[in-house]
Amino acid sequence: MRVLGIDCGTEYTGFGIVDLLADDGLRCIVCGAIKVSPRDPMPTRLSRISIGLAELIIQHRPDRVAIEDVFYAANVKSALKLGQVRGVAMLAAASAGLEVAEYSPLSIKSAVVGYGRAEKHQVQQMVTRLLHLDQIPEPADAADALAIAICHLHTAATRERQNKTQPNNILQSKARQTATR
Indicate the burial class of 29 (C-beta count within 10 angstroms; 0-12, 13-18, 19 or more). middle
- pLDDT band for position 179 (cuts 50, 70, 90): low
Which of 63, 68, 119, 134 is labelled catalytic?
Answer: 68
Ramachandran category for residue 97: left, alpha or beta (phi over 0 → left; psi -120 to 50 → alpha): left
The tens digit of pLDDT for each residue in 65-86 reads 999 987 666 788 888 899 999 9
The tens digit of pLDDT for each residue in 87-136 reads 999 999 999 999 999 999 999 999 999 998 899 999 999 999 999 999 99
Please tell me whether residue 12 adopts helix, strand or coil conformation.
strand
18 to each of 14, 24, 163, how far by Cα in Å?
A: 13, 12, 23
Over residues 149-158, the mean pLDDT reads 91
**pLDDT at 5 exceeding the cut of 80:** yes
Whole-number Å distance between alpha carbons of 57 and 61: 5
Sketch the domain layout of the chain as residue ranges: 2-180
Which of 69, 138, 141, 160 is labelled catalytic?
Answer: 141
Beta strands at 2-7 and 12-20: parallel, antiparallel or unpaired:
antiparallel
* Residue of 51, 54, 64 lying closest to 17 (CA atoms): 64
The pLDDT of residue 177: 56
Q: Is 144 a residue of the active site?
A: no
Q: Is 68 a residue of the active site?
A: yes
AA letter at 108 = I
Q: Is 141 a residue of the active site?
A: yes
- pLDDT band for position 172 (cuts 50, 70, 90): low
- pLDDT band for position 154 (cuts 50, 70, 90): very high
**pLDDT at 157 exceeding the cut of 60:** yes
What is 2-180's CATH number?
Answer: 3.30.420.10
Over residues 160-172, the mean pLDDT reads 66
- pLDDT band for position 169 (cuts 50, 70, 90): low
Whole-number Å distance between alpha carbons of 98 and 2: 11
- pLDDT band for position 63 (cuts 50, 70, 90): very high
